[in-house]
Amino acid sequence: MSAAPPSPVIEARGLTKVFAGPRGTSVTAMRGVDLSIAADTTVGLLGGNGAGKTTTLSIINGLLLPTSGTIRVLGRDMTRERHLALARMNVSSPYVDLPHRLTVRENLTVYAHLYGIADVRGRLATVVEDLHLGEVFNRPVGKLSAGQKTRVALAKALLNDPEVLLLDEPTASLDPDTGDWVRTHLAGWRRRHGATILLASHNMAEVERLCDTVFVMKDGRIHDQGAPADLIARHGRQTLEEVFLDIARRADGHP
Ligand SMILES: Nc1ncnc2c1ncn2[C@@H]1O[C@H](COP(=O)(O)OP(=O)(O)OP(=O)(O)O)[C@@H](O)[C@H]1O
């Protein structure tokens, strides 16, 4: 008898999110999104501006409540028992700034205490070495370059060795060399830890390189999904960027 397949690390069923807009209007950011993400994988969330990627990540992280549908992470219902999953997760997003006046050391120390890390000094020493932050360790975060801030944000996100890491645009505004360094670091970290990464990105080459599976969102729906190579073959294209443009420019938005 074969063993039952492992349950997904992230499982969303019928997620819908309606935001209240100005003067009684509303914006539907997600329309019945289903996601099933296995452990030990890197998964990409693609979609044009306003497709619903950040909203999806925020609901998975328990920051936003869905209007309807269910979301479970690491077996926990994120609308009712997120505190039981959050210690095993982390997130990095350019939309969430670290306090500018605090130094890198102070920021990471605060987060390490928040995460309940026992050996704060030892853990900081490891992430500072891993992410090459020695030179900027005692500088205020507000005085760092975009690339340096990204590495600090990543260090914060890896402090608790998360089993699930959510990344919104992990290499936006980085030069090609720094972006490549971050991608290599993430891929190595994920392999070593057997973690699961869900990343929203507009960088198709990044997604093609890092992701085992891709979900393509448009107008709050998942329009297609699969391994990058399978999506490219299915659409009869050469690159993921061409697949993305096919879906983005399709008039009715449906496959
Ligand atoms: N707090 C909010 N209140 C009202 N509308 C919102 C809110 N957050 C997002 N929206 C709307 O929901 C839709 C989806 O936004 P979301 O930020 O999830 O898209 P996205 O795919 O991450 O876009 P981008 O690539 O531009 O970051 C957009 O129409 C956006 O204007």
Mark whether 155 and 227 lie in a shared domain.
no
Q: Both 44 and 111 in a single domain?
A: no
Residue ranges lining ligand 1, Cβ < 6 Å: 19, 27, 29, 47, 49-55
Q: Which of 26, 27, 198 to mutate to test the pocket of ligand 1 (most atoms within 8 A of CB)?
A: 27
Two structure tokens written together for 73: 């992470």
Task: Report pLDDT for 81.
Answer: 93
Task: Clarify whether residues 75 and 98 are in a common domain.
Answer: no
Lowest mean per-residue pLDDT among 6-10, 141-145, 155-159:
6-10
User: Residue 7 — φ and ψ, nearest 5°?
Assistant: -75, 150
Comparing CA positions, the residue from 189, 230, 151, 158 lying closest to residue 40 is 189
Show the domain range for 102.
Answer: 89-161
Length reported for the chain: 255
Q: Is 220 inside any structural domain? A: yes
Best residue among 19, 33, 216 to mutate for probing ligand 1, ranked by most atoms within 8 Å of CB = 19
In percent, the amount of the chain with pLDDT more than 70 equals 96
Spell out the SS3 assignment of 70-91.
EEEECCEECCCCCHHHHCCEEE
Q: In what order do the strands lie in the sheet with 68-73?
A: 26-37, 10-20, 68-73, 76-77
Question: Are 123 and 243 in the same domain?
Answer: no
User: What does the pLDDT look like over 14-31, one tens digit per residue?
Assistant: 999 999 988 889 999 999
Domain count, the chain: 2
Enter the pTM of the model. 0.92
236 and 118 both lie in a single domain: no
Task: Evaluate whether residue 255 is within a structural domain.
Answer: no
Q: Confidence band (pLDDT; 50, 70, 90) for 253?
A: very low
Instruction: Output the CA angle 68-7-168, nearest 5 degrees.
Output: 60
Mark whether 81 and 26 lie in a shared domain.
yes
What is the 173 CA–ligand 1 centroid distance (Å)? 20
143 lies in the same domain as 99: yes
Q: Which residue has the tokens 């507000």?
A: 142
CB within 8 A of 4, min separation 6: which ones?
Answer: none
With respect to residue 183, please indicate whether it lies within any of the assigned structural domains: no
CA of 29 from ligand 1 middle (Å) equals 6
Q: By alpha-carbon position, which residue is closest to atom 2 of ligand 1? A: 19
> Above 80 in pLDDT, residue 5?
no
Asked whether residue 189 is assigned to any structural domain, the reply reads no
Substitution site in 18, 31, 33, 55 for ligand 1 pocket (most atoms within 8 Å of beta carbon): 55
- Same domain as 203, residue 83: yes
10 lies in a domain?
Answer: yes
Last residue of a domain, one of 139, 161, 183: 161
Write down the pLDDT at residue 22: 86
61-106 pLDDT, tens digit each = 999 999 999 999 999 999 999 999 999 999 998 777 899 999 999 9
